[in-house]
Structure formats: structure tokens, C-alpha cells
Chain A
Amino acid sequence: MTTRTATTYQWSARGFVAPGVILVAVLLYLPLLWTVYLSFTHYDGLGDPQWVGLDNYVEMFTDPGFVGSALNTLLWVVGTLIVPVGVGLAIALLTWNLGGGIWLRLPLLIPYALSGIGVGVIWSFILSSGGALDQALAAIGVTDPPRWLIDAPLNTVVMIIAAAWQGVGVNALLFTIGLQSIPKEPLEAARIDGANGLRLFGSILWPMLRPLTAVVVGLSIVASLKTFDIVWSMTKGGPGTVSETLALTMYKDTFVNSDYGLGSAIAVFLTIVTLVASIIYLRQQLSPKNEI
């Protein structure tokens, strides 16, 4: 067997990776660079951007609303890890090696296929005062339900649940795939040794799921930091700004107030946070000693 030196196939490798890098660089990074540039300027969409250095960043960090936004975003990250990811894993474990598992997971997958318009509208419909949920509660005698979309942090929590409704199915699917790919021998061996239930999970399943968990958690962190659509369609960050997330603040500054500089600064901040979080997490998860 020949051993491969570090330089073998490098040219070939570059060829394979090039299309991906080029497309992403041109279509995604180039516009991003423009945004980074804008974050150092004052620009209202008309006229030309004027350089103002770090002013936008200072304004961003000193805005009292910023802390609230950041905390809500953090709430989303944690909430998304607990609910869509956690519940997804639980479901995958429940359906594992169960006949007809596919059909049991199906109702959970349908929400992902539904259009965003439908999801936002239907959940507002359900959660608004006097809406479907309140009607159901009234039928069982609960007559003074909380105002789901008005009171913070309750509104953020229910929106996380709405987001989970869409996301659980896909996560369950990915975890199922991970479980199915675990080699049979170690599993059998452990069972013969008498391990089952929690021990089986802890010593065999969880470690072997690691690469897939990395995928799911990594994607979740990124998606939750970017949370926009659901919040925008259900509360628009309100009432006031209590359920606003960083992505919403950025959107409002850019598109509503036409303060592109400030909006860009927030976007840059958000991007850096997300990138750092993902790199730290992935590097740790995907380093060679963790791969089996």
C-alpha cells in the first residue's frame, strides 16, 4: 500500500474544492464585505456612504435595547438546543428499531415542508388572544389564559415552541440516521454484556452519535442566532421591543429606519459571534481524536 505524502493530490483536491469556494465567495462573501464596509459608514440608502469609523459600533453597544435583544437571542439559542434538538434526539431514540418508525415520525416532518407564510400565520392564529388555543382552554374551563404573544419572556418561549414545531422532525430524522449507522458489533457486544437503557445510551450510543450531533447542534446554533422569520411574523419584536432578537434589530435599523450603517454593524457583530461559536464547537467535535 502506498503511503500518501502531504503533497499528493493537492492540485486535484484544490480543483474539487474550488467550485464550492468560488460560488460561496462571490455570491455570499462579496456582498458581506460590502456590509462590513457599510458598518463603518453612515448611509441612508440615497446619496453616498460617509465614513464614520467606529461610531456605529459604539452606538450599538451603548443602546439599552441592545442588551435586551442580545439576551433574547441567547434565549433562542438555549431554547433551540433544548427543544428542537433535545426533543428530536428523544424521538429518534424512541423510534429506533421500532417497526413502522417511519410512519411514526411522519407527522413530525410535515411541518418542515409547510411554507413559511402558513406557519407564521397559523401560529399567530393559534396564540393570539381569543385564538384557537384560548378557545381550547376555555372548553376545559381555563378562562383567563396568559397573553401568549404579549407578555415577555413568555412570548419568546412560545415562539421557540412554534419554531420547534417545524424543526423537531428534521432533527429526529438526522439523529435516526445517525443511530442507524452505528456499527452493529459493538452494540451487540454491549447488549450481551448486559448494558441496556441508559447505560447503553451513555457508553455506546452517545459517543458514536457524536459526528452527527455535531452536525445538528452546529446547524441549530447558527439557525437560532439568525432567528428572524418567526419572530417577525408573530410579534415583530413587540410589544415595544421585548421579544426582539439581534436579527430583528438589524432588520429594523436597515430596512425600517434606513440606517444601513448601524444595521450593518449589528450584522457584523452577529456574524462574528456565530462564526466564533461554530468554530469553537466544531473544532472540538470534529478533531481527529473524536472521529471513529
Chain B
Amino acid sequence: MSRIIRIVVLVVLGLVWLVPTYLLVVNAAKDPTTFTTKQSWIPTDFHLFQNIGDALTLSGLGNSILSTAIYSIVSPAIAVVVGAAAGFAIVALKLRRGFLWFVVIFGGTVFPLQMILLPLFDGYSRVGLYDTRIGMVIVYTAISIPFSAFVMRNFFTGVAASVFEAAVLDGATTWRIFTRMYLPIASSALVAIFILQATFVWNDLLLGLTLTQSDDIRPIVTTLSGMQSTYGGAQMSTVLAAAVLVSLPTVILFLCTQKFFAKGLALGQY
């Protein structure tokens, strides 16, 4: 297919894809008291910052941001390393019944989150982890591990066994091999997984809703969702403004880390 055709197709596709985002921003910027749904496509006023301000005061967001930042950075970071360790064990160290253990870890992602919410709440309140940052970090780490293990296991299958053999010959311990060789090789994969999981944790609603109550422990999206109800909830444009606000960090994260993705989650060519 010629280059021109490809580029044109992609540009058109990109524009089409941007349309809902455009609608989101345009309508988030409208003044709630003059908001109508008749002209969704046309920006009528630029009330965006006031709407965001309203969203902030209405839900006391400031407190949540720090906590959410902690959850989105710490949990995926830990999960990424733990997942890589599991992949390393199964592939490089040829763990016996490796596939079984892989399924066990991967299985953690298979069932809908709703089903474990209440038992988790029960357990957490009994051991005193309810409404604590530590409790949230632990649970977010646990749910990020299966995806990380999945991708890392696949990644490591692309790393030739000879790499491991050579390191052993050099007298390295498995820990050193893992940290000095396998992790660095996988660095762009690790970063990519981290970014995807961080986004997921940042946007979490359910776990935050169930396992926290204080404003400063609650993740940001949970606090925001309180705005959106018929029982006197905020107006549509304020809700949309809140959605824009909450999405900004992740969008920026995506934009800035493009080059990591470009380097490629290369499946190893050794």
C-alpha cells in the first residue's frame, strides 16, 4: 500500500477518534445555567476553568490527589517488579510446573472485581486495613500483578537461554542475574506496563469506593463520582469538567512517554 494512502487513512481515523474527546472538552466548557443539549457540537462559552473550580470545591478533591498519586506510582512499581520476578522464575529458571503457576497468577485477573469487593471490605475492616493508605497500596499492587506477570513472562521467552547460561558461567547469583541483566533488558517493557497499570489505578472507582471513606485516603475518581447523581448532583457540564480534570495527568503521562513505547516492548532478539 502506498505511503500516501496509508497516511490519509490514518489521519482520517485519528480525526474521527478525536471527535468524542472534542465533544467532551467543548461541553465541559459550557456554563451550566445556559447549558442546552441542542448544540452539542458548538462551543458556546469558555466556562471551563469555573466548572473545574466548581468540581474541585464540590468534591474536596485536593486531598485525594496526593493519595491517588501515591497509589498510582507505588503499586504499579511494585507490581511490575513482582510480575517480572514471576516471569523470570517461570522462563529463565524453568520453575517446575511453571505453566500452572502462571495460570494461578494470571487467574487473578479473570473474575469481575465486583465479586471480591465485599469479602475484601469485611477482611480489611477486621484486620484494620480499612481506610488506610497501606491497605490501598497492597490491593492495587495485587491487582496489577497478573497483567505484569503475563506480559513479562511472554517477554522473557524471547530472551535466549544462552544469556542466562553465560551469566551462570560467570559466577553470578540468580538475584544478580535478575537485577543486573533481565530487568535492564526489559526496561522499556517495564515502563510500558507501569504506565498502563498506573492509568488503571488512577482511574479506579470500585476499590476506592469499597475500601476507603476519608477524603484524604479516597482516590480521586471515587470522590468525583459522588457528583454525578440525579439526587441533586452537579450539572452535566460540571461533571464533564471534572472528568477532564481527572484525565489530565494520565493523558499527559501518555503524551510524554511516547518514546518508551517507540523503543518497543521488544520481545528480545538475543
User: Distance (Å) between the CB of B192 and the closest chain A CB?
Assistant: 8
Instruction: Give the contacting residue for A215; candidates B108, B150, B165; CB below 8 A.
Output: B150
Q: Which residues of B in the span 92-144 have a Cβ within 8 Å of any Cβ on A?
A: 93-96, 99, 101, 103-112, 114-116, 118-120, 122-123, 138-139, 141-143
Q: Which of B101, B123, B250 contacts A31 (CB 8 A)?
A: B123
How far, in angstroms, from A23 to B15 measured CA to CA in the complex? Answer: 42
Given contacts A211-B154, A267-B111, contact A283 B255 (CB under 8 A): no
- Please report which residues of chain A, range 6-40, place their CB below 8 angstroms from some CB of chain B when the two chains form the complex: 6, 9-10, 12-17, 19-21, 23-32, 34-35
Chain A residue with the shortest CB-CB distance to B18: A107
Chain A interface bracket (under 10, 10 to 19, 20 to 34, 35 or more): 35 or more
Q: A1-B165, A115-B247, A122-B20 are in contact. Are A21 and B37 (CB under 8 A)?
A: no
Among the interface residues B228, B253, B259, which one has the most CB atoms of the partner chain A within 10 A?
B228
> Does B168 touch A at the CB level, under 8 Å?
yes
> Which residues of chain B from 213 to 270 have a CB within 8 Å of any chain A CB?
221, 224-225, 228, 236, 239-240, 242-244, 246-247, 250-251, 253-255, 258-259, 261-262, 264-269
Give chain A residues whose Cβ lies under 8 Å from the Cβ of B268. Answer: 181
Choose among B110, B118, B221 the residue that contacts A115 (Cβ–Cβ < 8 A): B221
Chain A residues whose CB sits within 8 angstroms of the CB of B67 once the complex forms: none
Contact residue among A28, A116, A279 (Cβ-Cβ distance under 8 Å from B221): A116
User: Are B258 and A122 in contact, CB atoms less than 8 angstroms apart?
Assistant: no
Tell me whether A106 is interfacial, beta carbon within 8 Å: yes
Are the CB atoms of B244 and A118 closer together than 8 Å? Answer: yes
B24 engages A267 (CB within 8 Å):
no
Query: Which A residue's beta carbon lies closest to that of B200?
Result: A112
Residues of B close to A27: CB separation below 8 A? 120, 138-139, 142-143
Q: How far is the CB of B87 from chain A (nearest CB, A)?
A: 9
CB distance from A269 to the nearest CB of B (A): 11
A21 touches B105 (CB 8 A): yes
Interface residues of A in 253-292 (CB under 8 A from B): 254-255, 260, 263-264, 267, 270-271, 274-275, 278-279, 282-283, 286, 291
Complex Cα–Cα for A178 and B267 (A): 7
Given the known A-B contacts A9-B93, A98-B3, A274-B110, are A34 and B264 also in contact in the complex, defined by CB atoms under 8 Å?
no
A57 CB within 8 Å of chain B? no
Say yes or no: B246 contacts A2, CB within 8 Å.
no
Closest to B264 in A: A180
Closest to A3 in B: B165
Whether A91 contacts B165 in the complex (CB less than 8 A), given A121-B228, A228-B112, comes out as no
Beta-carbon contacts under 8 Å, A51-87 to B: none
B29 within 8 A of A: no
In the bound assembly, the distance between CA atoms of A104 and B18 in angstroms comes to 12
- Please measure, in the bound complex, the distance between the C-alpha atom of A267 and the C-alpha atom of B119, giving whole angstroms: 14
Whole-angstrom CA separation of A97 from B269 in the bound complex: 18
- Is A110 at the interface (CB under 8 A from chain B)? yes
Closest residue of chain A to B21 (Cβ to Cβ) is A110
Q: Indicate whether A117 sits within 8 Å of B239 (C-beta atoms), given known contacts A181-B269, A219-B147.
A: yes
B41 at the binding interface (Cβ < 8 Å): yes
Give the interface centre of B17, B149, B192, B239 by most chain A CB atoms within 10 Å: B17
CA distance A123 to B192 in the complex (A): 28
B40 near A16 with CB under 8 A, answer no
For the complex, what is the distance from the CA of A109 to the CA of B228, rounded to whole Å? 26
Please, what's the 1-or-0 string for B67-90, where 1 marks a CB less than 8 Å from any CB in chain A?
000000000000000110110111
Q: Which 4 A-B pairs rank lowest in CB-CB distance, beginning with the nearest? A: A118-B243, A27-B142, A31-B119, A31-B116
16 further interface pairs, Cβ-Cβ under 8 Å (given A26-B142, A211-B157): A2-B165, A9-B174, A24-B105, A30-B119, A32-B119, A35-B119, A102-B258, A112-B199, A114-B243, A116-B221, A131-B37, A177-B192, A197-B1, A222-B109, A250-B112, A267-B112
Can you list 15 contacts pairing A with B, beta carbon distance less than 8 Å? A2-B168, A6-B94, A16-B174, A17-B101, A19-B85, A20-B145, A20-B149, A21-B105, A23-B82, A35-B116, A98-B7, A106-B14, A111-B21, A115-B224, A267-B115
